[in-house]
Amino acid sequence: MAKVVFLLSILAVFLTVYFLSPSTPPPLPQLDYDAWWGPENLKKKQDTSIKPFKIQFDNVLVKDLRDRLKIRPTFTPPLQDVGFEYGFNTKTLETWLQYWAFFNQYPHFKTNIQGLDIHFIRVTPQVPQGVQLVPMLLLHGWPGSVREFYEAIPLLTAVSKDRDFALELIIPSIPGYGYSSPSVRPGLGPPEIAVVFRNLMHRLGFKKFFVQGGDWGAIIGSQLVTIFHEEVLGYHANMANVLSLKSMIYTWLGAYFPSLVVEEKYADRLYPLSKYYSDFVEEMGYLHIQATKPDTVGVALLDSPSGLLAYILEKFSTWTRKDHRSKVDGGLESKFTKDQLLDNLMLYYAPKSITTSMRLYSEFLNKRVFAMRIDDIPTPVPTWIVQARHELGYVPSWLLTSKFPNLVNATHLDDGGHFLAFEMPKEFSQDVLDAITAFRKLQKNVRKTEL
């Protein structure tokens, strides 16, 4: 009986909210495309040139890091028979701290956009006649970096006789991440960063381009393809996110009637909802801290390389496979090498960017950005979403179409976690190239029917 009452009340809430919620999407947010995020005094002397850039870890930094690692305290031992359940296993931490190493590769540049020095990698493949170069903006997330794409870059930019195009990649660091400078004032959230990256593409001469993203890259990407839908040729994402009331309500409804919401073969990616939410509560403490008090935890992480390593690599453990939680070594080296993970870590350690990277959570999860309701504004940009088996969340394809009515494909991988490009560069690149091929075919057909 209680269950029936509960079901009916859910249904009542659902119907009320659904029918009372406005059916027309909100207008596109009015954003200032020239907003200045840098120091005020530099506004009049902006240097808009594009300068080659090299990542260098100077001797002072390296010596300081060695010293800090040497004088580290004896860490609190883990509880008996515990893996990563209580956080980074401190026995495993020692093996990482003994290894920490350094790197450099691909052409790096910096250019000033709206007061921010934006760091980016640009890879332009040599193409034979008849092969068209097409630009793609490739966006990373937290706690990742441009380093996540190093293994995928040669695969994505490869020239193949099976394709009449090759990708030219523009891979920027998000403002406040790696070597891109942070804003000096509040308000630089994902919609505003979308403006910065679109302006970067304009600076480089690209008026139309493709976009790919995961994690923050998928959130910024989704905003970019909404605000600048006339400039984006196609959008590929490896994290599905639609933060709308409708998708939330249907997800709840599916807890009782899964077949209404999700195909049976994918049901275990979303249900039982109790497991989904208990995982959420167990794993999302960082999100609450970073969305509210990033500067406080930032003090500790900036002061301690050991702390920074534990905080960031714990995410690479659990977000790659949830069952890595029960392993003493966090399963880290089953999917990545120490070099890969420490390279990525260096892009937080060397530029001291951990605090400014975490601020992005506060600049997103706030009333100002929610009020824009960007996820309620459909975008006509052709979209292709790949959902890896072990991604943090799952959104059924049909729910994606409210935001992306031009969903060309939603591929489901039976493997792979949150850092898909980093973990499975081959499968990731193949999926992206399949998507670009499909987007280009669509354009050709549209052009044909227009003639």
Residue with smaller CB distance to ligand NAG, 304 or 409: 409
Least distance between ligand NAG and beta carbon 3 (Å): 39
Is residue 361 among the annotated active site residues?
yes
Least distance between ligand NAG and beta carbon 432 (Å): 12
Distance CA(442)–CA(234), nearest Å, equals 10
Structure tokens at 310: 């534990």
Q: Counting contacts by CB under 6 A, is residue 438 touching ligand NAG?
A: yes
Residues binding ligand NAG: what is the number (CB under 6 A)?
4
Least distance between ligand NAG and beta carbon 418 (Å): 20
The CB density around residue 221, as the number of other CB atoms within 10 Å, is 28
Sign of CA dihedral 333, 337, 338, 340: negative
Only one of the segments 187-195, 205-213, 299-307, 403-411 lies at the binding site for ligand NAG (rule: CB under 6 A); that segment is 403-411
Catalytic residue among 117, 140, 215, 376: 215
Give residue number: closest CB to ligand NAG. Answer: 409
Residue with smaller CB distance to ligand NAG, 84 or 384: 384
Site string for ligand NAG, 294-333 (x = CB under 6 A): ----------------------------------------
What count of residues does the chain have?
A: 451
Least distance between ligand NAG and beta carbon 425 (Å): 17
Contact between residue 171 and residue 124 where contact means Cβ atoms under 8 Å apart: no
Q: Counting contacts by CB under 6 A, is residue 131 touching ligand NAG?
A: no
Residue with smaller CB distance to ligand NAG, 90 or 409: 409
Catalytic residue among 250, 271, 361, 394: 361
| Residues 337-396 contacting ligand NAG, CB under 6 A | none
Member of 408, 413, 432, 436 binding ligand NAG (CB under 6 A):
408
Contact between residue 312 and residue 301 where contact means Cβ atoms under 8 Å apart: no
Least distance between ligand NAG and beta carbon 436 (Å): 11
Q: Counting contacts by CB under 6 A, is residue 442 touching ligand NAG?
A: no
- Residue 401 has phi, psi (to 5 degrees) of -75, -15
Residue with smaller CB distance to ligand NAG, 164 or 339: 164
Least distance between ligand NAG and beta carbon 301 (Å): 40
Q: Counting contacts by CB under 6 A, is residue 90 touching ligand NAG?
A: no
Is residue 215 among the annotated active site residues?
yes
Residue with smaller CB distance to ligand NAG, 226 or 383: 383
Structure-token match 């029960």, residue found: 326
Q: Counting contacts by CB under 6 A, is residue 409 touching ligand NAG?
A: yes
Question: With helix as H, strand as E and coil as C, how does the chain read?
Answer: CHHHHHHHHHHHHHHHHHHHCCCCCCCCCCCCCCCCCCCHHHHHHCCCCEEEECCCCCHHHHHHHHHHHHCCCCCCCCCCCCCCCCCCCHHHHHHHHCCCCCCCCCCEEEEEECCEEEEEEEECCCCCCCCEEEEEEEECCCCCCHHHHCCCHHHHCCCCCCCCEEEEEEEECCCCCCCCCCCCCCCCCHHHHHHHHHHHHHHCCCCCEEEEECCHHHHHHHHHHHHCCCCEEEEEECCCCCCCHHHHHHHHHHHHCHHHHCCHHHHHHCCCHHHHHHHHHHHCHHHHHHHHCHHHHHHHHHHCHHHHHHHHHHHHHHCCCHHHHHCCCCCHHHHCCHHHHHHHHHHHHCCCCHHHHHHHHHHHCCHHHHHHCHHHCCCCCCEEEEECCCCCCCCCHHHHCCCCCCEEEEEECCCCCCCHHHHCHHHHHHHHHHHHHHHHHHHHHHHHHHC
Only one of the segments 91-99, 309-317, 321-329, 408-416 lies at the binding site for ligand NAG (rule: CB under 6 A); that segment is 408-416
Residue with smaller CB distance to ligand NAG, 369 or 381: 381
Least distance between ligand NAG and beta carbon 440 (Å): 11
Residue with smaller CB distance to ligand NAG, 159 or 438: 438
Site string for ligand NAG, 218-257 (x = CB under 6 A): ----------------------------------------
Least distance between ligand NAG and beta carbon 237 (Å): 15
Only one of the segments 91-99, 162-170, 345-353, 407-415 lies at the binding site for ligand NAG (rule: CB under 6 A); that segment is 407-415
Q: Which residues are part of the catalytic machinery? A: 215, 361, 418
List residues binding ligand NAG (CB under 6 A).
Answer: 408-409, 411, 438
